[in-house]
Amino acid sequence: MEFDDMDHMPEWEHFSRYENDEDDENLSSDDAEKVRLKVCRAKNLYNQARAVYKYAALFCETLKGEMAEITANLIMQNALMLCPKIVGAEGADMYILRMENASIIRTNCRELETQVRAADMFEICTPEYKDIVIAEIEKFRLLFIEWVKHFEKDDYEDDWGLY
């Protein structure tokens, strides 16, 4: 499978409702800068999620043995959730929904990393390929921390009491 063929996830601009928004004209320069930074953080995270997805898919192509198929399915299920959950968090722009999506993203990333490490433990992958996927997940994790750090609590109550 060619790397360029793995571009299943749409570009960020496909979803972004903030770029070139007419409402930007009504914002103060400080607020416009906050929006620009928010979009930039989300876009960077989304693009790194696309990279994680691509490298995970390529990694799955290299798995061998009787556990290869189930391991690949688990890896791809987790990798596939990252981009849509980022879009969902940004589209809602509500603290509760952002946190809910962030929690799901974190869980999927941790499970993805566990499955990649398990493939190495079971010796069904090439260790160098595992290292590449783990490095991409780490880049994602660092961007994720920066993204979540800027979530702003709002007045909506979480009727489940979690956030």
DSSP string of 86-110? HHHHHHH--HHHHHHHHHHHHHHHH
Specify if 139 maps to a domain: yes
Per-residue pLDDT reduced to its tens digit, 102-121: 999 999 999 999 999 999 99
Domain range enclosing 43: 32-149
What is the number of structural domains in the chain?
A: 1
In a domain, 8, yes or no: no
89 lies in some domain: yes
CA distances from 114 to 92, 148, 154 (A): 29, 22, 34
List pLDDT tens digits, range 59-114.
999 999 999 999 999 999 999 999 999 999 998 889 999 999 999 999 999 999 99
CATH at residue 70: 1.20.1440.60
What tokens were used for 122? 């079971």
Backbone CA torsion sign across 160, 111, 6, 49 = positive
User: Is 101 among the domain residues?
Assistant: yes
Residue matched to tokens 């929690």: 103
13's tokens: 């601009």
First to last CA, the chain: 42
Residue 103: inside a domain: yes
Q: What is the pTM of this model?
A: 0.87
* DSSP annotation of 159: T
